[in-house]
Amino acid sequence: MEPRGTQSQRRKRLEQEQRSSREGNTEVRRAPDLVQWTQHLEAVKRRLLEEAQGQLVELLDRAMWEAIQSYPSQDRSLPSTPPKPLNKTQEPPLGKRKVFVIRKSLLDELMEVQHFRTIYHMFAAGLCVFIISTLAIDFIDEGRLMLEFDLLIFSFGQLPLALVTWIPMLLSTLLVPYQVLWMWTRPQARGTWKLGIGLGCVLLAAHTAVLCVLPIHVAVKHQLPPASRCVLVFEQVRLLMKSYSFLRETVPGALLAKGGEGLWAPSFSSYLYFLFCPTLLFRESYPRTSSVRWNYVAKNFAQALCCVLYACFILGRLCVPVFANMSREPFSTRALVLSILHATLPGILMLLLIFFAFLHCWLNAFAEMLRFGDRMFYRDWWNSTSFSNYYRTWNVVVHDWLYSYVYQDGLWLLGGRARRAAMMGVFLVSAVAHEYIFCFVLGFFYPVMLMLFLVFGGLLNFTMNDRHTGPAWNVLMWTLLFLGQGIQVSLYCQEWYARRHCPLPQTTFWGLVTPRSWSCHPRG
């Protein structure tokens, strides 16, 4: 029989073991709660950091605005007080305006990293493979080594006519908007000023008619090929957007000047610089670099030319053999689906080439020649995990214009409410503009871009928003980009060849707007 003290010690040990096992079970039960609570805190931390970053950006923009305002201009003295909250009858706050600063393009910074430069070398190697493939096929079929550029020559046919048409478009933009502003800002009697308002509106209507009607007339009358049409339509849209930005930024100041708050108009040299610098937002001055690197200019123009050749090889080797005779074969769903999947690779390659050739090479070349300091023409759109972020970062130049003059002005007109309505207005304007460009370049109306951009793009913008993060969402975005480009390339190529294989017996309105590829198939 054990002593009483030993029994009490054993009971105490048993009670301690039972208590520790109960606490262990409680900790096991609490472990999932602790993991969920930690994840919740991590999500809260991310949201707080994002909000703090947004607030910090606004504070820095405001500080830069105040620094710019404290520096007097040569033509006029700027106000020293920051913008105040405005009501609906006033202009949108200046604190929301884009601030231009000297910065390099993102790809220029990434090209300094050897690992990223290797990706550039891989694309260059792909161009070499296309050239070798073309030479090999030509040697096997024709017994000669010769690079033929039939597609390139066809696409840029009648280019001198397009350039001659561009001259009156440029002269109209160069003279009319600035002359109208000068008429509205010079001192004159009240009755004469009203007459100047009417005359200015007539001049602006004539200027708009020249930009809108002249290129369409020349393209339709002379049947310009696609690349020459690209020159006209891009310049048409660019000059219209620049004209609007110049008047939107200066006319309110002119009207305030007539109210007795001081007379002001920008110099003609600042307007002339704005017409050629790579931005669509007018400012009296922009940050400038100290010198021009002409070797950098030549390099970017050479890369843009190589991208054009690259695109011709892609179309000639991956698209023309597939779609040239597709309209002559019986229609089948299987053939349509296979053509879309086949077109995903050339489609995404064309997207990357357009981005690199225009948004990087072309804009950086002009920025360097004009010593334009702000080279942020795009952001890291390839890292996007949502389509809302992709639309903001793909083309910053156009996005800034849409944000400033469609979204912000729309909110101002709506009294700061209905942000979704203002966002849908941005999508509508952008979708119509993209569809108009495709219609102008290809010479026919086939609203593939309109449906993809406005309907599917609008839905994806609201469903795949910035709340979604992680690599899976980036993979999903790229997958949808591949499929979207495949749909565009496939359907537009089919329609292009169908309109050549099945011309209309007589021209009618419905015949022009009805897709020909739907009916241009022999019955199987």
- E-strand stretches of 342-435: none
The answer to whether residues 461 and 384 touch, using CB atoms and an 8 Å cutoff, is no
Residue of 227, 70, 252, 100 lying closest to 161 (CA atoms) = 227
Please give the helix or strand (H or E) that residue 475 lies within, else none: helix 471-501
Whole-angstrom distance between the N-terminal and C-terminal Cα of the chain? Answer: 103
Distance CA 453, CA 437 (A): 13
Distance CA 190, CA 168 (A): 33
Joined tokens for residue 352: 């990357």
Residue of 208, 213, 214, 217 lying closest to 173 (CA atoms) = 208
- E-strand stretches of 25-108: none
Residue with tokens 């430069």, as numbered in its chain: 117
The Cβ of residue 454 has, within 10 Å, a number of other Cβ atoms equal to 19
Rg over CA atoms, the chain? 30
What percent of the chain is helix, strand and coil (3-state, nearest 5)?
75, 0, 25
Catalytic: which of 222, 342, 434, 501? 434
Please give the helix or strand (H or E) that residue 215 lies within, else none: helix 190-221
The SS3 call for residue 521 is coil
The answer to whether residues 431 and 449 touch, using CB atoms and an 8 Å cutoff, is yes
Distance CA 264, CA 257 (A): 7
Residue of 468, 95, 453, 493 lying closest to 320 (CA atoms) = 493
In single-letter form, the type of residue at position 26 comes to T
374 phi and psi angles, rounded to 5 deg: -85, 105
**Local structure of residue 111 (DSSP, 8 states):** T
Q: How far is Cα of residue 291 from the mean position of the Cα atoms in its chain?
A: 28
Distance CA 69, CA 320 (A): 56
The answer to whether residues 379 and 106 touch, using CB atoms and an 8 Å cutoff, is yes
Residue of 105, 206, 215, 185 lying closest to 437 (CA atoms) = 215
Torsion of CA 93, 95, 101, 107, to 10 degrees: -90
Joined tokens for residue 415: 């009294």
Please give the helix or strand (H or E) that residue 73 lies within, else none: none
The answer to whether residues 387 and 381 touch, using CB atoms and an 8 Å cutoff, is no
Residues in Cβ contact with 256 at an 8 Å cutoff, skipping those fewer than 6 apart: 262
434 catalytic residue (yes or no): yes
Q: Looking at the annotation, which residues are catalytic?
A: 434
